Amino acid sequence: MTLYIGREASKLWKRICSETSTEINLLLDNWKYLLAGLVFQYIHGLAARGVHYLHRPGPTLQDLGFFLLPELGQDKGYISETLFSCVFLSFALWTFHPFIFKSKKIYTVLVWCRVLAFLVASQFLRIITFYSTQLPGPNYHCREGSKLARLPKPESVLEVLLINFPRGVIYGCGDLIFSSHMIFTLVFVLTYQKYGTRRCIKQLAWLVAVIQSLLIVASHKHYTVDVVVAWYTVNLVVFFIDKKLPELPDRTSGNLPMLLPLSTKDKDSKTKEENQKLLNGNSVDPADWRLRIQVNGKVLEDANGIHVDTAMNGA
């Protein structure tokens, strides 16, 4: 039993080391995209903090979701946040599963590049939307009489740039249309829908997305319109951007090394090898089987035989 555990642990460690090496190579080629996506997350948070300074509390707007769904109340508002945290954590763990499991279909770095592209496009549209029109926040801390409903003018630029994280993010007001929670949830679900392998988990993910939508409205964190707009906007954004992005290499084909992007060193080595083959009269295309011979410094070729230059015999 001890020998079996030791052997399996050794295999797992080798798998982790191999996958880490592969992902590091991918990270070196794609770090700019990841960094840009992460920087935009800060810009999105900064924009949400900025619109809070413009927020003016008022009467809660008439909403169909508020009328149909029972209100969770201020003491149960954590339910939707807990579910969202589970969605985020489970998706993040899934993207790192190639480090442990034998069956793998994705590369972690490439998947997160794709996810960040979807998030950035959706959040860019969201910023434009909630700055266009500021609605009175329906959440409890955004209503008239709450100390958090209005923010005093910032005393310095640093106060704005720090965005009072995480309190400023949790107790924000004014960034309503459309729901940021639904952006993340739908992007994660749509990504797993395409690259996941378990059908039951895909169905469960869509069910969780629907439940998340209902909980957000029931806890009065957003109006129903914020959730509805998120559903069709994010789906359209993912649909169009996914067509523009290069498809991820399929790891199930078995030709893994050829599917990985080449490093600069590998590219230079491959180019030199191809040039050397051309100088020697050999084709870089293995499908080219034509016979070649060098005559008077010229490389002659024919699919059926060799042409002899008559000039060499003085004819």
CB–CB of 195/105 below 8 Å? Answer: yes
44 catalytic per annotation = no
300: Cβ–Cβ under 8 A, 6 or more apart, which residues? Answer: 292, 293, 294, 306, 307, 309
- For residue 152, which of 59, 43, 46, 52 has the smallest C-alpha distance? 52
CB–CB of 104/98 below 8 Å? Answer: yes
DSSP state of 246: P
129: Cβ–Cβ under 8 A, 6 or more apart, which residues? Answer: 177, 178, 229
- Phi first, then psi, for residue 24 (nearest 5°) are -65, -40
Question: Could you tell me which residues are beta bridge partners of residue 299?
Answer: 294
Please state, in angstroms and rounded to a whole number, the distance separating the CA atoms of residues 37 and 119: 8
Is there a cis peptide before residue 246, judged by omega within 30 degrees of 0? no
The active-site residue, picked from 44, 52, 55, 222, is: 222
The active-site residue, picked from 75, 181, 220, 288, is: 181
Task: Report helix, strand and coil shares of the chain as percent, to nearest 5.
Answer: 65, 5, 30
CB–CB of 179/156 below 8 Å? Answer: no
55 catalytic per annotation = no
Please state, in angstroms and rounded to a whole number, the distance separating the CA atoms of residues 192 and 198: 9
The active-site residue, picked from 44, 175, 220, 226, is: 226
DSSP state of 220: T
H-helix or E-strand spanning residue 300: strand 298-302
220 catalytic per annotation = no
Please name the residue ranges forming H helices in 96-198.
108-132, 157-161, 167-170, 180-195
Which residues are known to be catalytic?
A: 181, 222, 226
